[in-house]
Amino acid sequence: MDPNEVCETFLAADKIINGENDASMKMEEISKKSSFYEFCPNRRCVTDVQRIGAMTT
């Protein structure tokens, strides 16, 4: 991923975690996808930091 894509992904993740209305997806929608948890420690994302890490992997 190039630096611009990383920044865009991080900003999108920040909007999701903050519950902003203009976020293209909500955290609940993302967490329903089983592939999301492949990138979480022990297949569980508990903190916002872990969720952001999983979304940017």
First CA to last CA distance, the chain: 9
CA distance 39 to 24: 21
Residue 1: which pLDDT band, with cuts at 50, 70 and 90?
A: low
Q: Would you give the DSSP letter of residue 16?
A: H
pLDDT 10s digits, 5-35: 778 877 877 777 777 766 666 667 777 777 7
Domain residue ranges of the chain, discontinuous segments joined by +:
3-55
Residue 53: which pLDDT band, with cuts at 50, 70 and 90?
A: confident
